[in-house]
Amino acid sequence: MTKSDELSMRVHKQVAKWLIVCLSFVFLIIILGGATRLTGSGLSMVKLKLFRGVIPPSSEADWKKSFEEYQKTPEYIKTYKDRTMSVESYKSIFWLEYFHRLVGRFLAGFVFLIPFLYFLIRYFFINKVLSASLIVRLVIMFALGGLQAAVGWIMVQSGMNTSTLFQFGDLISVNPYNLTLHLAMAVVTYIYMVRVILSTWYHGSQREKQKEYGPFTSLSLILIIFAVITILSGGFVAGTKAGLLYQSDLFISLDALSVTDSITQTQTIFQFIHRWLATVLFLLIILFWSLGLKKLTSGRLKTFIHTVFAVAIAQFTLGITTLISFTLRDIETIALGTIHQGTAIILLTFILLAHYYSSWRIRRP
């Protein structure tokens, strides 16, 4: 191996470590997004200010102006028209959405862009040890982040427009389809980043297809598909406030789908789909784990399969616990719902790792 090859492998591993930090920020943003939705904070920041918006209101006059802008929104008019909301109460919902947006900007402007430019200039143009394919992947990654931000703003605007918002009783929220699209973009970006990290980490290594692990590769791919669809169905459940229905019923009968009220029917359908998808996913994971017990004696793949099974048990339990205790704007519900969403991403991560290590045998040169 030449010194140039050694430098290339070392630099690619540095890039992978940096991307792991970026991935951690994406995970945090997903968690904050879930908490923002559960606390009803998402519509508290009315205007998009790419640069000025980084600085929050500081004086009482600034807070009053920001609050007056919020008072003109459909959410405030419909939800708080008969109740008194003080500036202090407004601050409590403002800060979470502000922090959610700030983390996204910090990720794009500092955690990602500055190191990317450093690696690009030093190792692509000067040392010339970074692969062109990795640069393309990083550009795609940045574009996905920009698209995600754009979809997020479209989602927020859907809650400001009376023709696109979702209303359930006195509750006003963003369009559930836009909300789920925003979640879908986050999940797609996350999956893409995991794949890029793995391929970059093992840059320069010899990879061979593990034919003997074919069943694990196929089944783990099915698990990925089911996990993503289940997460997105959870977005629809959250977006339509369907978690308020059938809290004491473990299973929903088909007869329940025939209710006449359109909103209740929509909520019931999404709740029905989400529960059965989660149940099927859990059963498939049990099958995946049983197969691992039977055919694997040791190794990294077996470790990941055990981890997938353990996280799936925790996630399934969290889902049931969140459902039966769900109360709007309740601290316990917010905590459980946020952890439930975060655990879903953790579960998806370990399924992705199991799929990768069942697909490839990696040999260091």
Q: What is the pLDDT along the chain (365 residues), one digit of tens a residue?
A: 688 888 999 999 999 999 999 999 999 999 999 999 888 888 888 876 666 657 888 899 999 999 999 998 888 888 776 667 888 889 988 999 999 999 999 998 899 999 999 999 999 999 899 999 999 999 999 999 999 999 999 999 999 988 888 988 777 889 999 999 999 999 999 999 999 999 999 987 877 788 888 899 999 999 999 999 999 999 999 999 888 888 877 677 767 777 777 888 888 899 989 999 999 999 999 999 999 999 887 789 999 999 999 999 999 999 999 888 887 778 888 899 999 999 999 999 999 999 999 998 877 66
pTM, rounded to two decimals: 0.93
**The predicted structure's pLDDT at residue 328:** 72
| SS3 assignment, position 346 | helix
C-alpha 240: how far from chain center: 18
**The predicted structure's pLDDT at residue 351:** 98
**The predicted structure's pLDDT at residue 365:** 61
In terms of Cβ atoms closer than 10 Å to its own Cβ (0-12, 13-18, 19+), residue 156 is: buried
* CA 24, 36, 160, 242 torsion-angle sign: positive
Q: How far apart are CA 307 and CA 304, in angstroms?
A: 5
| Strand runs labelled E in the chain | 166-168, 171-173, 206-209, 360-363
**The predicted structure's pLDDT at residue 82:** 62
**The predicted structure's pLDDT at residue 342:** 96
C-alpha 208: how far from chain center: 31
Backbone angles phi, psi at 59, to 5 degrees: -95, 165
**The predicted structure's pLDDT at residue 50:** 64
**The predicted structure's pLDDT at residue 95:** 92
Q: Could you give the count of Cα atoms lying within 13 Å of 122 in the half-sphere of its Cβ?
A: 12
